[in-house]
Amino acid sequence: MRAFLFPGQGSQAVGMGADLAAASPHARAVFEEVDDALGQKLARIMAEGPADDLTLTENAQPAIMANAIATLRVLEQEGGIRLAEKTDFVAGHSLGEYSALCAAQAFDLSTTARLLKLRGQAMQAAVPVGAGAMAALLGADFALAEAICADAAQGQVCQAANDNGGGQVVISGDKAAVERAMALSKERGVKRAIPLPVSAPFHCALMQPAADAMATALAAAEVRAPLVAVYANVTAAPASDPDTIRDLLVRQVTGTVRWRESVEAMWAAGVTDYVEFGAKVLGPMVKRIAPDANVMSVVTMNDIEALAAAL
């Protein structure tokens, strides 16, 4: 069995998608449709920068999605591949869940781009700059990270935001609480606690205003049953019902990205092959969680041709 995977924020880089657009009209069509949907030249920012503009959450989220979907679209159109025939599940990390749903045709491309633009804006606006923070705890399992967060909160918000597996858990919340958690981590035997250069504390209760904004937007958006089920971040379980998908995406804004559990659940369901589109971020994570998995990251035209041949 096989799963197609889609990366999250942090995988953006100036130049992303440029070679693909130069090589394939199908990739260019994706970038043009996203530009039209957003009313901006996002493809130019992706190709040329500046990096500060691309890193803005409201740009990074639709850009990462567009790059991943362009890669998939080239595979489908030039490789003659039908997603529903070649994969059993889709999954994405945080914003990548939207890319996964777009890949499985639950959302059309323009809708996905607009939702992610709004999601980025709403997440950025939810918390004043500097009031929140995130940190990566390396060498901590999820239970230890949760215990550290509980002890560090002291009436503030401090939550495990991303359970990435392989002993990496990202925490999020009020800046002072996250700093307390980092200090506690050293006492509790965590190998390293690294502050992350993020603009907002994602996937914690401070994001509730953004969750409310997404609930309104998703209620008005057309959501179709996906061609294959999506493993949802907040449940680490497959979902196919459109109303359920809406609810899960709203909960995802403030909830933990349960990536380790998602991969473990896919592996337990019989998924042995994992293909990441648009970056080389999730592949290494999967190998740390399921060392015997077959992993492939697809970024370039050569990668796409190799995948088409393998499928």
Shared-domain flag, residues 28 and 119: yes
- Global pTM reads 0.96
Shared-domain flag, residues 110 and 11: yes
From 180, 198, 216, the end of a domain falls on: 198
Percent of the chain scoring above 70 in pLDDT: 100
Shared-domain flag, residues 183 and 210: no
Shared-domain flag, residues 88 and 33: yes
Compute the C-alpha angle 48/8/229, nearest 5°. 130
- Check if the beta carbon of residue 90 is closer than 8 Å to that of residue 104: yes
Shared-domain flag, residues 100 and 245: yes
Per-residue pLDDT of 36-49, as tens digits, reads: 999 999 999 999 99
**Based on the structure, what is the number of domains in the chain?**
2
Shared-domain flag, residues 76 and 31: yes
> What's the confidence (pLDDT) of residue 112?
98
Shared-domain flag, residues 26 and 172: no
More confident residue, 130 or 153: 153
Average confidence (pLDDT) over 160-174: 97
- Reported as a pLDDT band with limits 50, 70 and 90, residue 114 is very high
- Residue 135 phi/psi, 5-degree rounding, is -150, 150
Active-site residue, 203 included: yes
H, E, C per residue of the chain: CEEEEECCCCCCCCCCCHHHHHHCHHHHHHHHHHHHHHCCCHHHHHHHCCHHHHHCHHHHHHHHHHHHHHHHHHHHHHHCCCHHHHCCEEEECCCHHHHHHHHCCCCCHHHHHHHHHHHHHHHHHHCCCCCEEEEEEECCCHHHHHHHHHHHHCCCCEEEEEEEECCEEEEEEEHHHHHHHHHHHHHCCCCEEEECCCCCCCCCHHHHHHHHHHHHHHHHCCCCCCCCEEECCCCCCEECCHHHHHHHHHHHHHCCECHHHHHHHHHHCCCCEEEEECCCCHHHHHHHHCCCCEEEEECCHHHHHHHHHHC
- Reported as a pLDDT band with limits 50, 70 and 90, residue 197 is confident
Per-residue pLDDT of 17-29, as tens digits, reads: 999 999 999 999 9
Active-site residue, 26 included: no
Query: How far apart (Å, rounded) are the C-alpha atoms in residues 274 and 169?
Result: 21
Query: How far apart (Å, rounded) are the C-alpha atoms in residues 238 and 97?
Result: 12
From 198, 232, 252, the end of a domain falls on: 198
Shared-domain flag, residues 146 and 271: no
Is it the case that residue 129 has pLDDT exceeding 90?
no
Q: Residue 159 is part of a domain; what is its CATH number?
A: 3.30.70.250
- Reported as a pLDDT band with limits 50, 70 and 90, residue 54 is very high
Among residues 306, 262, 269, the alpha carbon closest in space to that of 286 is found at: 262
Shared-domain flag, residues 93 and 27: yes
Per-residue pLDDT of 227-269, as tens digits, reads: 999 999 999 999 999 999 999 999 999 999 999 999 999 999 9
Compute the C-alpha angle 34/37/42, nearest 5°. 45
Longest dimension (CA), the chain: 56
Shared-domain flag, residues 120 and 149: no
Contacts of 260 (CB under 8 A, 6+ apart): 142, 163, 164, 165, 166, 289
> What's the confidence (pLDDT) of residue 268?
98
Shared-domain flag, residues 93 and 152: no
Average confidence (pLDDT) over 64-88: 96
- Reported as a pLDDT band with limits 50, 70 and 90, residue 192 is very high
Kindly name the residue from 94, 172, 199, 262 that is annotated as catalytic.
94
Average confidence (pLDDT) over 81-99: 96
What range defines the domain where residue 155 resides? 132-198
Is it the case that residue 10 has pLDDT exceeding 90?
no
Shared-domain flag, residues 102 and 243: yes
Per-residue pLDDT of 281-295, as tens digits, reads: 999 999 999 999 999
> What's the confidence (pLDDT) of residue 199?
83
- The pair of structure tokens assigned to 206 is 């401070």
- Check if the beta carbon of residue 14 is closer than 8 Å to that of residue 51: yes
- Residue 248 phi/psi, 5-degree rounding, is -65, -35
Query: How far apart (Å, rounded) are the C-alpha atoms in residues 289 and 213?
Result: 33
Is it the case that residue 198 has pLDDT exceeding 90?
no
As a whole number, the mean pLDDT across the chain is 96
- Check if the beta carbon of residue 122 is closer than 8 Å to that of residue 114: no
Kindly name the residue from 11, 93, 172, 203 that is annotated as catalytic.
203
> What's the confidence (pLDDT) of residue 4?
98
Q: Residue 81 is part of a domain; what is its CATH number?
A: 3.40.366.10
From 198, 216, 244, the end of a domain falls on: 198
